[in-house]
Structure 1
Amino acid sequence: MYKRHSGTASSTAVSQNLGGVRGHYSYLFKKWGNHLSSEDQREAEELFQRYGYNAFLSDRLPLNRKIPDTRDPSRCKRREYPENLPTISVILIYLDEALSIIKRAIRSIIDRTPAKLLKEIILVDDNSSNEELKGSLDAYIGIIRKERPGLVKKVRHKEQMGLSQARISGWEVATGDVVAIFDAHIEVQVHWAEPLLTRIKMDRTLVLTPVFDKVNFDDLQVTLYYPAADGFDWAMWCAYDGFRPEWYQLNDKSQPGKSPSIMGILVVDRLFFGEIGLLDPGMKVYGGENVELAIRVWLCGGSIEVVPCSKVAHIERAHKPYQHDLSITMKRNALRVAEVWLDDYKKNVYVAWNLPLKDHGVDFGDVTERKKLREKLKCKPFQWYLDNVYPMLDPWNDLFGYGALKNDLRKDLCVDQGPLPGHTPIVYTCHYFTPQLCYYRTNGELYIGGIKSHKYEENRCLVDTGEMPGLYNCKEAKKKGFHMYWEFKQGEAIKNRETNRCLEVRLGTNAGYHLILQECSGQHWTIKHVITEQ
């Protein structure tokens, strides 16, 4: 199981929709909203573009709405917890959220957390421009304070500082034994806190995450998500992953499971979080800060668990309103993680982003203090993490080269995976996007169209099956006995080890070039980036 944990629908405002035409062109109106007038659809779409979810509908739902209890009925719902649990401070971070979303998050925390456990709710505003989040939100906080004096606190940044610093700002004013750091677009489930606090009472070095049910961005209905570990790929993108085999052997899906990473929403002993270095304040805007924390926790004396009996409903936005291209800061932050924590494996992050190992031109900031923290905490090497925590990451130890693959006859053309679905690679005008990313391993496998980060995932191997080269999942190619191993050195031929035929280009009858397999004629190939010369 491997699923990116972020909104994947790319929403684009459609002029016809905003002009009052029925909104079936927008992602918002695929399942919801046909009953609305054109005027209401226009308003709903404008709010959707601003927030990435259906704020129009949120504004019309009760703040204390009921959400389905998706906990395991036979194990979680019947479980009892100790009386003397630690207190918890809940930190909600946000940037330009809809007011009703924040108010509903606050209401759910108050209603579904035992008063004796809930120390405070801390709102951290990362310099929102939404005026509603000033006076109107303050007025709502005033109402809560009459009900629970001192319960709600508010921190506002004078300039946008990003997710890492927002979480740190909340931690700095927290006074509970435990801090829960959440996005503000959540609703907690009944008895969400007790399973987490029980685990931390047993072991203060645990960093925990609940299981998130998805709140649909359009109709705001809750979709059940089953327990899963949090993982990542070599580009440092976070994703759902499977637990280790020993968790499944328990045959009890209510039991906590060890996790290689964390999604960025976390629950941790407040003092331990400070001891281990909080979050890296050098991370910008969004992305990678959660993976950095996870690697550091595991290497420096802690561990990470997913707690299935704790459920939190979380809106998955259709798009992130604060930055349209998340890859810009994600790339920069990923290289920062690599430089501090990945040792000899930092090259894999460069490979994943198709960057040269040197002179890449990405400024990831000063990491001196983070390296000093690693020394101070006496952290283990990253190899230990691969061996003991995340062995499913493919170490890419035998990777020779990566990037665009060109023939010396036509250097404006690149090897390309060709049309999908299909099994025929081509040469095509170079554009350097994923379909043209090639990878050669010293075991002889040559991938076209990307490389996977995990051992259980399938790469697509170049094979010799006749006059034309083919492209097949490597396991399938091996099973069928296709000739899939090649000899290649930079600036030389690409020659099949079994058939002794070479991959070459030839001018076709329609004046276009295509890939062929034939007796070697002396054509040479170069791959964009070489890791080590053979």
Structure 2
Amino acid sequence: MRSFGCCRVVLATSLLWLLLDAFLLLFLSDCNKCDEKRERSLLPALRAVISRNQEGLGEMGKAVLIPKEEQEKMKELFKINQFNLLASDRIALNRSLPDVRLDGGGSGCLGKFPLSGKILPSDPWYRTGALDWNFRWEQSLLFLKFSPQGRESWFVLGYSLLIHLSCTGTQFLKAPLENYVKNLDVSIKILRMEQRSGLIRARLRGAAASKGQVITFLDAHCECTLGWLEPLLARIKEDRKTVVCPIIDVISDDTFEYMAGSDMTYGGFNWKLNFRWYPVPQREMDRRKGDRTLPVREAVAAPGSLAVSKARLEKPGMVGGQLPPCRSRGVWGRCCSTIPTFPLQIWQCGGSLEIVTCSHVGHVFRKATPYTFPGGTGHVINKNNRRLAEVWMDEFKDFFYIISPGVVRVDYGDVSARKALRERLRCKPFSWYLENVYPDSQIPRRYYSLGEIRNVETNQCLDNMGRKENEKVGFFNCHGMGGNQVFSYTADKEIRTDDLCLDVARLNGPVLMLKCHHLRGNQLWEYDAEKLTLRHLNSNQCLAEPSDEDRLVPTMRECGSGRSQQWLLRNMTLGA
């Protein structure tokens, strides 16, 4: 009787476990279909964006032209945010954009990243969008709702986080914005800074509040194309140490015309630490074996659009200090602001930075800023540049100080903690960065002199006069203050001023400043330390003092022994 009771207990327990197993199997089976159902429910929204009417203003990224009778109103509104608000307000919130990705069949971007399917199904992905405080909230939400999420599989995005940088004169970013967000069918959270703390600190605050494994930062004045996110996430999944950026396309601040950026340019900087776009070097094309859909290793990046693993972002020393946003960049790719600190930190401390060429994000590039910086724009930029140079550039900071002597007088605060952190993390020296990451940098790694080039006869110096590429090099009274009179005579026998080299294409000159091409030829000079002459090898003529016709430019003459052809190459140092 007792054994029969035991059997009943065993049978009842077994039956209970069978029922529990069946319930779990049914539950998990349904959950496995959740993402599939969600994907199917979102496909109509994606199709709506693709198939929408393309005849309206601004559709397919076309320019919006304002009639003559509204030009005055347009100019007045332009002053508010330094872009055409009238054109912006007349564009549909989910306007269509051209597909500007590289197409090479199955081997192109469209073959590698079709507009369907789920990327990284086991991971939750979140995006943090930085809201520029001085933008109208309607325009910002165009980018943050309809552009990133309307042109992407929504299950890849957990939510959008708008960061208000807490500035005066932005009442429309308070109650009106909160009321508008409540009525949206996507998850958007608003995070407000208690006081104005700068763009980078605001983004770090947003990153701390996010819960995803990958964070994507976008300026408020960005607009995303179809399929912009999957390539970024796929690359980070391959290598979590990599920070990735899309190709930055240009949105006109005058007409909101969408113009595709080039996959043949990448970020760099000059002696003044100004961000520049340069052609992708041949060494990088060779590394990718000619496949333009593969990521491009980038020396530095504009901070407006990037994606990073949250674990990487939270690594000690990843980001430090306060940086202003990029002031402006024209259609030709010139940026007036300082380079951010984080690219140097990424590379020197074990990570990498890449442009994912299959991802495109548009950016409104303004010619001026509608806001001010405490103490003035120049003061803030000089302070940040000085901190960057002191912590990360080692002895190469002299290039920056000599060509930008005003920076030396700026109080840059205490950076001892940053230096100690760099040492503790065993980050590589700046010379390693120049040798391995940015060998085509405009800062020469080997040079004979860095400073003024003084003529013995006149006691005057070569001077770039602030002139641009393809203009004549100047000649002026030596002032000993560096700046425009800083030239480097390199181990490659180039005479360089920033990213320009002295170039002579024919007998008797003129002496022009052209982009350094590193092919010797017209840019090859030989300095004789005994005769003090600078001989141009191609023409076999020597650099000489100016002629009577123009006393502000040097000349080329047959080499002789006179003092007019003698030059003193002096190294300069400015005490830091």
The aligned amino acid for 1:138 is E
Q: Once the 2 structures are TM-superposed, how far is the Cα of residue 223 of structure 1 from its aligned partner? A: 0.7
1:152 corresponds to 2:176: no
The answer to whether 1:311 aligns with 2:360 is yes
Q: 2: CA distance between counterparts of 1:185 and 1:513?
A: 44
Hey, what does 1:114 align to over in structure 2?
A: 153
Secondary structure of the structure 1 residue equivalent to 2:68? coil
Partner of residue 36, structure 1: 68
Of 223, 237, 241, which residue of structure 1 is paired with 2:274?
Answer: 237
Q: Tell me the SS of whatever aligns to 1:89.
A: coil
Partner of 1:378: 426
Quote the residue 2:128 is aligned against: 90
Query: Displacement of 1:387 after TM fit?
Result: 1.9
AA at the equivalent of 1:55: L
Q: 1:365 aligned to 2:407?
A: no
Match of 1:252, SS? coil
SS in 1 for 2:160: strand
User: CA 1:193/1:231 → structure 2, altered by over 3 Å: closer, same or farther?
Assistant: same
1:263 aligned counterpart, secondary structure: coil
Question: Per the alignment, do residues 205 and 46 of structure 1 end up closer, same or farther by CA in structure 2, a change over 3 Å counting?
Answer: same
Equivalent residue letter for 2:357: P
Structure 2 contact 459–477 (Cα < 8 Å) conserved: no
Contact 1:200 1:268 in 2 (8 A): yes
Displacement of 1:87 in angstroms is: 0.9
The percentage of aligned residue pairs carrying the same residue is 24
How far residue 190 of structure 1 moved from its aligned partner, in angstroms, is 2.3
1:253 is the counterpart of 2:311: no
Q: CA shift at 1:459, angstroms?
A: 0.3
1:354, 1:488 → 2: CA distance? 28
Q: Does residue 1:135 correspond to 2:185, yes or no?
A: no
Q: 1:51 to 1:376 in 2, by over 3 A?
A: same
Q: Does the alignment pair 1:530 with 2:568?
A: no
Find the residue that maps to 2:244 and give its secondary structure.
strand
Considering only CA atoms, is the larger Rg found in Structure 1 or Structure 2? 2
1:330 paired residue among 368, 381, 395: 381
Distance 1:469 1:495 in 2: 18
Cα pair distance change 1:64/1:43, threshold 3 Å: same
- Which secondary structure state, in structure 2, belongs to the residue aligned with residue 180 of structure 1? strand
Q: Taking structure 1 as reference, are residues 46 and 447 closer, same or farther at Cα in structure 2, changes over 3 Å only?
A: farther
Q: What is the identity, as a one-letter code, of the residue corresponding to 1:117?
A: V
Is residue 87–residue 117 contact of structure 1 (8 Å, CA) maintained in 2? yes
Deviation at 1:342, TM superposition (A): 1.5
Aligned match for 2:399, one of 304, 327, 348: 348
- DSSP-derived class of the 1:485 partner: strand
Q: How far apart, CA to CA, are the structure 1 residues paired with 2:498 and 2:234?
A: 41
- Give, in whole Å, the separation in 1 of the partners of 2:224 and 2:339: 21
1:184 pairs, out of 220, 245, 256, with 220
**Shift of residue 220, structure 1, vs aligned partner:** 0.7
**2:87 maps to 1:57:** yes
- Greater CA deviation, 372-381 or 207-216? 372-381
Query: Could you say what secondary structure the match of 1:215 adopts?
Result: strand
Aligned equivalents of 2:284, 2:428: Cα separation in 1? 23
Computed over aligned residues only, the root mean square deviation of the Cα atoms, in angstroms, reads 4.1
Whole-Å separation in 2 of the counterparts to 1:462 and 1:97: 48
Is the Cα–Cα contact under 8 Å of residues 235 and 331 in structure 1 kept in the other structure? no
- The residue number in structure 1 matching 2:498 is 451
The count of aligned residue pairs is: 479
Q: Aligned partner of 1:391: which letter? A: P
- The answer to whether structure 1 residue 77 and structure 2 residue 110 are counterparts is yes
CA contact (8 A) 2:163 2:191 kept: yes
Whether the aligned pair in 2 keeps the contact of 1:345 and 1:395 (CA below 8 Å) is no
Contact 1:417/1:424 (CA < 8 Å) preserved in 2?
no
Is residue 224 from structure 1 mapped to residue 268 from structure 2 by the alignment?
no
Paired AA for residue 139 in structure 2: I
What is the match of residue 102 of structure 1?
A: 140
Q: Structure 1 residue 165 and structure 2 residue 207: aligned?
A: no
| SS of structure 2 residue aligned to 1:225 | coil
- Provide the C-alpha distance between the structure 1 equivalents of 2:474 and 2:339, rounded to a whole number of angstroms: 39
Query: Take 1:343 and 1:105, find their aligned partners in 2: how far apart are those partners?
Result: 40
- Relative to the length of structure 1, the TM-score reads 0.76
Q: SS state of the match for residue 191, structure 1?
A: coil
* Alpha carbons of structure 1 residues 396 and 313: separation in structure 2 relative to 1, 3 Å: same
Tell me the CA shift for residue 267 of structure 1. Answer: 0.4
Within 2, Cα distance between the matches of 1:376 and 1:435? 35
The alpha carbon displacement at 1:273 in A equals: 0.5
194-203 or 416-425, which deviates more:
416-425
Determine if contact 2:125/2:212 at 8 Å carries over to the other structure. Answer: yes
Partner residue of 1:48 out of 60, 74, 78: 78
Relative to structure 1, the CA distance from residue 527 to residue 321 in structure 2 (aligned partners, 3 Å threshold; closer, same or farther) is: farther
Per-residue deviation at 1:236? 2.1
User: C-alpha distance in 2, partners of 1:283/1:49?
Assistant: 24
Structure-2 change in CA distance of 1:410 and 1:121 (3 Å)? same
Is the 2:272–2:404 contact (alpha carbons within 8 Å) kept by the matching residues of 1? no
What CA deviation, in whole Å up to 9, does each residue of 1:404-449 have, x standing for no partner?
A: 85879677x975669989886554578999995341527696848x
Distance 1:215 1:125, change over 3 A: same
- Summarize deviations over 1:208-229 as a string: whole Å, max 9, x none: 1112221111111211113243
Instruction: Kindly state the Cα deviation for residue 180 of structure 1 after the two structures are TM-superposed.
Output: 0.6
Contact 2:444 2:490 in 1 (8 A): no
Partner of 1:26: none
1:327, distance to aligned residue in structure 2 (A): 4.8
Q: What is aligned with 1:398?
A: 447
Is the Cα contact below 8 Å between 1:189 and 1:312 reproduced in 2?
A: yes
428-437 or 310-319: bigger deviation:
428-437
Moved more, 277-286 or 523-532: 523-532
301, 306, 315: which is aligned to 1:262?
301
For 2:162, what is the secondary structure of its paired residue?
strand
Q: Pick which of 257-266 and 70-79 moved more.
A: 70-79
Q: Separation in 1 of the partners of 2:312 and 2:468?
A: 50
Structure 1 position 178, deviation (Å): 0.9
The correspondence of residues 464-503 of structure 1 with structure 2, limited to 5 A, is 470-471=511-512, 479=521, 484-487=525-528, 495-496=533-534, 503=544
Corresponding residue of 1:8: none
* 1:354 maps to amino acid: S
Q: Distance in 2 between matches of 1:513 and 1:254?
A: 48
Alpha-carbon separation, structure 1, partners of 2:271 and 2:524: 29
The aligned amino acid for 2:132 is Y
SS in 1 for 2:317: coil
Cα displacement (A) at 1:274: 0.7
Aligned counterparts of 1:198 and 1:306: Cα–Cα separation in 2: 13
Change in CA separation of 1:41 and 1:439 when aligned onto 2, cut-off 3 Å: same
Letter in 1 for 2:277: Y
Q: Hey, what's the Cα distance between the residues in 2 that align with 1:483 and 1:187?
A: 45
Taking the aligned partners of 2:494 and 2:465, their CA distance within structure 1 comes to 12
CA distance in 1, matches of 2:369, 2:141: 20
**CA distance, structure 2, for counterparts of residue 398 and residue 163 of structure 1:** 37
Unaligned runs of at least 5 residues, structure 1: 1-30, 453-457
Report what 1:174 is aligned to: 210
Amino acid at match of 1:340: V
Cα distance, 1:36 vs. partner? 3.4
**What SS does the corresponding residue of 1:109 show, helix, strand or coil?**
coil
